[in-house]
Chains A and B, each alone.
Chain A
């Protein structure tokens, strides 16, 4: 703001209000969030490693052990979301519960549950893809492009 231009009282109020908001708005506790994401995200991955080792030990090949692990994690996350436990953990974990594959399962169950009263087709069936739809669209398109590029240039 230039010096010779006096702000109108209204503008002053606005500025003061913004300054007040800036002061009172709690800063996101970055360190705490990062620690939560690291510990809980890391724990989910360690549990995944235990599952892979278990499935390998009962005789599954590497890709199948990985697929069985994904399915198991997705199942557990879906049930925990249904029970409301996953969201309680997510409060402390932030990205630690979003980034693992369990977060993908959570993103399907949470909106589906929320809109269940709108019916099995337009509630559950449609809303379960609110977040999963974009993920699958972007994933499939980009993977197809990678395959196409590989096909054309090899």
Chain B
């Protein structure tokens, strides 16, 4: 059952992105989607609206980019709660550290090891 929920909600969030691009004649680019969905996730999470989606859909809500924003926002809130103002600075990065580091590390290594296609 949790697989079905993840599929439908995760797919649904992707459809929102697809509609934003197609219905604006691609004035909204993939770059806008990346930035907008992360920031949107932060805002929704700050307002307390994203946690219910996570509770319902699991990976369907945490794997899409708003889930990354949710992680950042909840980390910042948790940090502010336990460590005050310094926690607001560090909390988001601490919560998302593994994902961000993995993206930078694997990204750099893959780009170094693999040959660009068409060369």
CB of A143 within 8 A of CB of B76, answer yes
Query: B10 near A41 (CB under 8 angstroms)?
Result: yes
Question: Are A104 and B34 in contact, CB atoms less than 8 angstroms apart?
Answer: yes
Mark out the residues of chain B between 75 and 119 whose CB falls within 8 Å of any chain A CB in the assembled complex.
75-77, 79-81, 84-85, 87-89, 91-93, 95-96, 98-100, 102-104, 106-114, 116-117
Question: Do residues A112 and B100 form an inter-chain contact, with CB atoms below 8 A?
Answer: no
In residues 17-40 of chain B, which contact A (Cβ within 8 Å)? 17-23, 25-26, 30-31, 33-35, 37-39
The answer to whether A43 and B112 touch across the interface, beta carbons within 8 angstroms, is no
Interface size on A, residues (CB 8 A): 78
The answer for the CA separation of A134 and B76 in the assembled complex, in Å, is: 19
Chain A contact residues, majority secondary structure: helix
Q: Which residues of A137-154 are within 8 A (CB) of B?
A: 138-140, 142-144, 146-151, 154
B53 within 8 A of A: no
A50 interface residue (CB < 8 Å to B): yes
In the complex, are the beta carbons of B14 and A37 less than 8 A apart? yes
Residue tally, chain B, CB below 8 Å to A: 81
The chain B residue sitting closest to A50, CB to CB, is B3
Kindly identify which residue among B18, B65, B72, B106 contacts A140, using a CB–CB cutoff of 8 Å.
Answer: B72
Q: Which residues of B contact A50 (CB under 8 A)?
A: 3
B98 touching A148, Cβ below 8 Å: no
Residue in chain B with minimal CB distance to A107: B34
- Say if the beta carbon of A89 comes within 8 Å of chain B: no
**Contact A104 B68, beta carbon cutoff 8 Å:** yes
> A95 CB to closest chain B CB, in angstroms?
3
| Bound-complex Cα distance A69 to B6 (A) | 14
List 24 A-B residue pairs with CB atoms under 8 Å apart, sorted by A's residue number: A39-B11, A41-B64, A42-B8, A42-B14, A45-B63, A45-B64, A46-B10, A48-B10, A51-B59, A70-B63, A71-B98, A78-B107, A94-B18, A96-B14, A98-B33, A99-B16, A108-B107, A109-B111, A113-B114, A134-B34, A136-B100, A147-B76, A148-B76, A150-B81
A: which residues have CB within 8 A of B?
A: 28, 30, 33-34, 36-46, 48-53, 63, 66-71, 73-75, 78-79, 81-84, 93-96, 98-101, 103-105, 107-109, 112-114, 116-117, 120, 124-125, 128, 131-132, 134-136, 138-140, 142-144, 146-151, 154
